[in-house]
Amino acid sequence: MLVSLPISPKALADYEVFVGADNILDIRELAGEMAGSSVLHVNATAYGGGVAEMLYTLVPLMQDAGLRADWKVIQGNDEFFSVTKIMHNCLQGMDIPITTNMKQIYEHQVLANAKMMDGEYDYVVVHDPQPAALPHFLGEARRKIGKKWIWRCHLDLTEFSVELWEYLLPFIQQYDGVIFTSGHYAGEYEDRMPPITVITPCIDPLSPKNTPLDHQTVTRTLRKYGIDPERPLITQVSRYDPWKDPLGVIDAYRIVKKEIPDAQLLLAASMATDDPESWHYYEKTARHAGEDSDIFLLSNLQGVGNLEVNAFQRGSDVVVQKSIQEGFGLTVTEALWKERPVIGGKVGGIVLQIEDGVNGHLVDSSQACAESILKVLKDKKGAVRMGAAGRDTVRERFLSTVNLKGYLELFRGLDVAKEQHERKKAVHEQH
């Protein structure tokens, strides 16, 4: 049996101070129409990475809105997660052949998870490719477990591998709806997919990761890890993964260091259980960093948790997210919310968040990244202006309540679509 994760309660009312009473009222009205409906979220990891991060807020907020929301994590071994990581990489643009053996490993494990599924839900939301084939392998039991199935893909799909997409498509076609972060991600496949809804991810302003911290806590946390709060700090908070380009960040830092010798670089990561590749990439990054004692490579293994990430982001003079592909980039949202200027790769979901020159800079090389970092470090007033603009961006578009509303509207839309479908069928049968 797949077990439900324990959920700490959250209250919608607590978000009123950020988004206003009208917004909360809208959500309550919308949720009222589907009070008591049950929702199951299924993903591949309970911690590490943006999906888990969001579910820790979305699930309890759905509960507070009156839905019976639940969250389960599929099981898998290293072999399975290595295959799904390759799939993940291929969906983001790598060209790696998907062998028969890989398909067997994937299908075998998803089938095993399907056999462990139970319960009855109105809506099942399946996140990302790892559990994507669940409805297929549930067969007859599919409609009993979930009346409606939604696939929520968080990846940047602008350059997906066609071979893998063709393999996954028959699994995806069994869903009643699909959610992407950007309307561009389905490309020419839109006609062959279930109806697509665009919902951007979001951050929780009340989570320990984003809640305000006093100056003393920030500096104490930096010092604890040997970082000097008095010297310029450049930070990237990201998994050790080629798409996050930590090596490119180190190159950019080295260019900056020539002009600002006391600059420090912090790379903080959490090692997710569904990402065995991260260990290999951590070592690669460490080799690239070499003996430079102003580069700090930290992870959850040194006790970096939500509070530490919060303090690192707040204590940074500039936050970098130099991704080469990025579904959305919650780390960008988190830093914008903390009024930090953010330098981001000009890709995927980052371009939905950073307006070049307004709340940060968009870059496509280490050289450009270094130049933008230097610009921010040298213009303190400009950095403050950018920070304020960043906070407004997030308040308006990327807080948890926006995400919740997106899901509720989608659920309601699916019901309408079903009603229309059934009405049409009834008319058809009468004739």
Q: Looking at this protein, which amino acid is placed at residue 424?
A: K
Number of Cα atoms under 13 Å in the Cβ half of residue 184:
12
Listed ranges 37-45, 68-76, 103-111, 297-305: which one lies at the site for ligand UDP (CB under 6 A):
297-305
Contacting residue, 50, 131, 246, 348, with ligand UDP by CB under 6 A: 50
Q: Which of 95, 80, 56, 41 is nearest to 273 (CA)?
A: 80
Q: How crowded is residue 375: how many other Cβ atoms within 10 Å of its Cβ?
A: 16
Residue 137 or residue 282: which is nearer to ligand UDP going by CB?
Answer: 282
Q: Name 246's Cβ contacts closer than 8 Å, sequence gap at least 6.
A: 236, 238, 240, 267, 281, 285, 288
Residue 7 beta carbon to ligand UDP: minimum distance, rounded to whole angstroms: 18
Listed ranges 7-15, 126-134, 248-256, 264-272: which one lies at the site for ligand UDP (CB under 6 A):
264-272
Establish if 352 lies at the interface with ligand UDP (CB under 6 A): no
What size, in residues, is the chain?
431
Establish if 177 lies at the interface with ligand UDP (CB under 6 A): no
Q: Which of 175, 209, 266, 237 is nearest to 54 (CA)?
A: 209
Establish if 269 lies at the interface with ligand UDP (CB under 6 A): yes
Contacting residue, 268, 352, 370, 376, with ligand UDP by CB under 6 A: 268
Establish if 239 lies at the interface with ligand UDP (CB under 6 A): yes
Establish if 350 lies at the interface with ligand UDP (CB under 6 A): no
Distance separating alpha carbons of residues 227 and 305, to the nearest angstrom:
16
Number of Cα atoms under 13 Å in the Cβ half of residue 316:
33
Q: Which residue of this chain has its Cβ atom nearest to ligand UDP in the complex?
A: 50
Establish if 92 lies at the interface with ligand UDP (CB under 6 A): no
Residue 38 beta carbon to ligand UDP: minimum distance, rounded to whole angstroms: 26
Residue 211 beta carbon to ligand UDP: minimum distance, rounded to whole angstroms: 13
Establish if 270 lies at the interface with ligand UDP (CB under 6 A): yes
Report yes or no: 79 and 60 within 8 Å, Cβ to Cβ: no
Establish if 156 lies at the interface with ligand UDP (CB under 6 A): no
Contacting residue, 304, 318, 402, 414, with ligand UDP by CB under 6 A: 304
Establish if 185 lies at the interface with ligand UDP (CB under 6 A): no
Report yes or no: 258 and 273 within 8 Å, Cβ to Cβ: no
Establish if 202 lies at the interface with ligand UDP (CB under 6 A): no
Residue 331 beta carbon to ligand UDP: minimum distance, rounded to whole angstroms: 4
CB burial of residue 262 (10 Å; 0-12, 13-18, 19+): exposed
Interaction with ligand UDP in 317-346: which residues (CB under 6 A)? 328-331, 334
Report yes or no: 73 and 1 within 8 Å, Cβ to Cβ: no
3-state secondary structure of 296: strand
CA-based diameter of the chain, in Å? 81
Contacting residue, 53, 176, 245, 274, with ligand UDP by CB under 6 A: 53
Q: Residue 221: which H helix or E strand, with range?
A: helix 215-224
Establish if 309 lies at the interface with ligand UDP (CB under 6 A): yes
The token pair at 236 is 């990237």
Which parts of this chain interact with ligand UDP (CB under 6 A)?
A: 49-50, 53, 209, 237, 239, 268-270, 299-300, 304, 309, 328-331, 334
